[in-house]
Amino acid sequence: MNTHINGEQGSVSRHSRRNFIENGLKITVVSGVLGIGLLPGCKDKEKDEDEISPPEDLMREHGILNRVLLVYDHFLQMLASNEQINPQFLTDSASIIRNFIEEYHEKQEEDFLFPRFEKAHQLTDLVAVLKTQHQQGRIITDQILLLGKQPQLASASDQQKLNSLLTSFIHMYRPHEAREDTVLFPALRGIVSKHEFDSLGEDFEKREHQLFGEGGFEIFVEKVAKVEQQLGIYDLAQFTPKL
């Protein structure tokens, strides 16, 4: 009798273990399908992967700068062909530089990045040049905006001045942004702690929302796209060489 009872208990025990394993496997499969994290910190890991790092944020903002530089290139081509430039297009383009690049993007660099490199005594010569170029760029933008207030850019002196301003701006900012993307921004992780690095991203986002509300980057992507459309240079396919 005892043997029978023990046998039944062993059978029940084996049955319970089997059910436990099967139920555990089912939970694991369902959790994987639904994206439910079973381990602490899974959601935090997914959140971290979705967040944009400070260098990546600054680099994509350089994309807007680059698109305006392409617009400036087009203005130079128009001047070379003696085509009239609508002053409003000039104002719209320079306003993107003023509002997004100079008063937001460059201020982020000047307030959050440059002081940290200076404090760490790293890349200080580069930082000094970048700061000077920011100042020179704002002077050029002031003059471009001033020209844009005119009813038309008809005089030869105005066209010559605009040519010089656009050329100087492009000549300075192409190497400027390239040096930041390849030297300054990648070096940031080496001079700050992980906590400080992460908090910079929060600081960037906070200021963007203060200045532009939600989706500040997307707002200015749309603005530059509108200028490109008005100038007939929005279609990317037109830049593909025909070999």
For the segment 122-131, what is each residue's pLDDT rounded down to a tens digit? 999 999 999 9
Scan for tokens 């020179």, then name that residue.
136
Closest CA to 216 of 113, 140, 103: 103
Q: Are residues 19 and 61 in the same domain?
A: no
Closest CA to 172 of 144, 142, 140: 140
Q: Are residues 61 and 135 in the same domain?
A: yes
**Residue 142 vs residue 43, higher pLDDT:** 142
Q: Is residue 194 part of a domain?
A: yes
Q: How confident is the model at residue 26 (pLDDT cuts 50, 70, 90)?
A: very low
**CA–CA distances in Å: residue 145 to residues 40, 66, 97, 220:** 54, 19, 10, 18
**pLDDT tens figures, 186-206:** 999 999 999 999 999 899 989
Q: Is residue 11 part of a domain?
A: yes
**What domain range includes position 150?**
52-234
Q: Are residues 154 and 114 in the same domain?
A: yes
Q: Are residues 76 and 14 in the same domain?
A: no
**pLDDT tens figures, 131-164:** 999 999 999 999 999 999 988 887 889 999 999 9
Q: Are residues 129 and 167 in the same domain?
A: yes
Q: Are residues 58 and 80 in the same domain?
A: yes
Number of domains present in the structure of the chain: 2
Q: Are residues 121 and 203 in the same domain?
A: yes
Write the CATH number for 134: 1.20.120.520
Q: Is residue 239 part of a domain?
A: no
Q: Are residues 154 and 91 in the same domain?
A: yes
Q: Is residue 240 part of a domain?
A: no
Instruction: Classify residue 76 by burial, with Cβ atoms within 10 Å: 0-12, 13-18, 19+.
Output: middle
Q: Are residues 17 and 117 in the same domain?
A: no
Q: Are residues 82 and 183 in the same domain?
A: yes
Q: What is the pTM of this model?
A: 0.79
